């Protein structure tokens, strides 16, 4: 049987007080709290989980809730959805936060849940907000009670569960990803608040321009709590019966914070986007992701270190200047600091994004390292060994070595790899940028080693730099 959330006591059974008519809006908490959906039909967004035949909808239709982890950004509905699961399945809902409460409270809740189950057969949903704040030992404490069915655990986290939640718990509680709400979702939530006279702003006689609603829906970056907070602030700004236009909405927003976490998943997502944009030769996208990182407070020198990596991994010898430009950006930032030095980093990003690309250095180094691990004892050929003593010379060290600068065309026909690796090729220049000339030069050298004579005209036929 489905019950409205207003009828659910957060820490036990029915809450009769919650059914009383609410007072004026300013007396019953922030607009975001007042407008929290009471039934599933009020919930906006997350159709991929709640649409007909989707995972959580099917679970609710069957009336058999299971343990799960909700992973999503702030304001996407994690707590509300957990409460709705309890309301839709007639299950006691008990919530606590890993930030403010500890494992002792968990034991207390589990004890109460066990007594409730034995006495009434009623199951308990234990909602753990910010479950990633618990360490691994604390998370392990949930396992036996989840397995026995004493509690149904619903954890909520803004961090990637792959890194923050212990594997045994993940195997018992599948992860459901809640997406940031779309501007259309947020617009609907704002319109709900403006129409609701009991819990929202419907009784205040406000008029709101479409432009203002569109601005708040986009500027809230998928966060329903932020969107409702901005709307409430704008309503206070204009007063009862007032008109909220785009200017009032912008004034209420004040500052739009970057959605970026220097130590969390978004850090890795955005640096990955920057790297792949450079690799894909898209200077506009690369510059945008750089700006997102700088605006989010990322350490500029971390970004420069990644640019140095990109110069070697994705550009290599197609344009050796890329590495020099990346290192110059580091020096310029050290010299100028922020914000002036950020321009040098932007210049380096644009240079790398527009440079010819080649990963042949990266591939050659990986192949050489793999072969070195396979043949750690392969002896250095005698003719290229160092021979600083008479004993070593007597053993044949350095014997037969040919000094390339004294050879015709500066190329000696001799082997430099161990005998077991003779003829192995690690580096194959690509067809772009300077590597095209490098390929021509290497082919010319290979021909000289094979004893092929130069064409008439001698050195004139040599590739550039050979």
| Interval 379-398 mean pLDDT | 88
pLDDT per residue as tens digits for the range 136-146: 888 888 888 88
Residue 89: CATH number of its domain = 3.40.50.300
Q: Is 58 contained in some domain?
A: yes
Give the domain range for residue 393: 378-461
Do 383 and 283 lie in one domain? The reply is no
As a whole number, the mean pLDDT across the chain is 86
* Structural domain count of the chain: 4
pLDDT per residue as tens digits for the range 87-109: 888 899 998 888 777 778 888 89
Structural domain ending residue among the three candidates 124, 147, 177? 177
What's the confidence (pLDDT) of residue 98?
81
pLDDT per residue as tens digits for the range 68-81: 999 998 889 999 99
Map the chain to HEC letters.
CCCCHHHECCCCCECHHHHCCCCCHHHCCCHHHHCCCCCHHHCCCCHHHHCCCCHHHHHHHHCCCCCEEEECCCCCCHHHHHHHHHHHCCCEEEEEECCCCCHHHHHHHHHHHHHHHHHHCCCEEEEEECHHHCCHHHHHCCHHHHHHCCCEEEEEECCCHHHHCCHHHHHHCCEEECCCCCHHHHHHHHHHHHHCCCCCCCCCCCEECHHHHHHHHHHCCCCHHHHHHHHHHHHHHHCCCCEECHHHHHHHHCCCCCCCCCCCHHHHHHHHHHHHHHHCCCHHHHHHHHHHHHHCCCCHHHHHHHHHHHHHHHHHHHCCHHHHHHHHHHHHHHHHCCCCCHHHHHHHHHHHHHCCCCCHHHHHHHHHHHHHHHCCCCCCCHHHCCCCCHHHHHCCCCCCCCCHHHCHHHCCCCCCCCHHHCCCCCCCCCCCCHHHHHHHHHHHHHHHHCCCCCCCCHHHHCCCCC
Do 452 and 411 lie in one domain? The reply is yes
Do 226 and 272 lie in one domain? The reply is no
What's the confidence (pLDDT) of residue 19?
34
What's the confidence (pLDDT) of residue 93?
93
What's the confidence (pLDDT) of residue 263?
58
Do 168 and 45 lie in one domain? The reply is yes
Do 302 and 436 lie in one domain? The reply is no
pLDDT per residue as tens digits for the range 14-71: 433 333 333 333 445 789 989 999 888 889 999 999 998 899 999 888 888 999 999 9
pLDDT per residue as tens digits for the range 149-204: 899 999 999 888 888 888 999 988 999 999 999 999 999 999 999 999 999 999 99
pLDDT per residue as tens digits for the range 232-286: 999 998 999 999 999 999 888 875 555 656 556 678 889 999 999 999 999 999 9
Structural domain ending residue among the three candidates 354, 386, 412? 354
Q: Is 424 contained in some domain?
A: yes
| 321 vs 11, higher pLDDT | 321
Do 79 and 164 lie in one domain? The reply is yes
pLDDT per residue as tens digits for the range 106-148: 888 999 999 999 999 899 999 998 888 888 888 888 888 888 8
What's the confidence (pLDDT) of residue 164?
84
């Amino acid at each position: 049987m489905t019950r409205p959330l207003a009828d659910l006591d957060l820490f036990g059974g029915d809450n009769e007080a919650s059914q009383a008519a609410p007072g004026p809006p300013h007396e019953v908490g922030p607009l975001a709290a007042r407008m929290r959906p009471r039934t599933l039909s009020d919930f906006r967004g997350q159709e991929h989980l709640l649409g007909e035949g989707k995972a959580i909808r099917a679970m609710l239709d069957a009336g058999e809730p299971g343990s799960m982890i909700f992973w999503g950004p702030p304001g996407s509905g994690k707590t509300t959805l957990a409460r709705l699961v309890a309301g839709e399945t007639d299950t006691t809902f008990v919530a606590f936060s890993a930030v403010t409460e500890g494992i002792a409270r968990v034991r207390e809740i589990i004890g109460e849940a066990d007594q409730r189950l034995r006495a009434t057969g009623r199951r308990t949903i234990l909602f753990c907000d910010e479950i990633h704040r618990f360490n691994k030992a604390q998370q392990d404490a949930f396992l036996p009670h989840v397995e026995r069915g004493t509690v149904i655990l619903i954890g909520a986290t803004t961090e990637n569960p792959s890194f923050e939640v212990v594997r045994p718990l993940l195997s018992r509680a599948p992860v459901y990803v809640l997406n940031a709400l779309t501007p259309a979702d947020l617009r609907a939530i704002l319109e709900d608040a403006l129409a609701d006279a009991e819990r929202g702003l419907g009784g205040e006689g406000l008029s709101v321009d479409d432009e203002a609603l569109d601005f708040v829906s986009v500027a809230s970056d998928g966060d329903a709590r932020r969107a409702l907070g901005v709307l409430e602030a704008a309503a206070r700004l204009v007063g009862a019966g007032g008109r909220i236009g785009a200017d009032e909405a912008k004034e209420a927003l004040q500052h739009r914070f970057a959605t970026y976490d220097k130590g969390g998943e978004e850090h890795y997502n955005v640096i990955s986007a920057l790297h792949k944009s450079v690799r894909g030769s898209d200077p506009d996208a690369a510059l945008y992701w750089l700006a997102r990182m700088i605006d989010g407070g990322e350490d500029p020198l971390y970004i420069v270190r990644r640019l140095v990596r990109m110069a070697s991994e994705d550009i290599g010898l197609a344009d050796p200047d890329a590495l020099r430009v990346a290192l110059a950006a580091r020096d310029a930032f050290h010299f100028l600091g922020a914000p002036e030095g950020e321009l040098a980093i932007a210049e380096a990003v644009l240079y790398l994004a527009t440079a010819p690309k080649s990963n042949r250095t990266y591939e050659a180094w990986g192949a050489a390292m793999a072969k070195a691990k396979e043949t750690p004892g392969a002896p250095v050929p005698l003719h290229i060994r160092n021979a600083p003593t008479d004993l070593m010379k007597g053993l044949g060290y350095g014997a037969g070595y040919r000094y390339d600068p004294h050879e015709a065309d500066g190329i000696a026909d001799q082997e430099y790899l161990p005998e077991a690796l003779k003829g192995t090729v690690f580096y194959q220049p690509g067809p772009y940028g300077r590597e095209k000339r490098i390929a021509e030069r290497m082919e010319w050298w290979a021909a000289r080693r094979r004893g092929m004579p130069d064409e008439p005209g001698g050195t004139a036929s040599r590739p550039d730099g050979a």
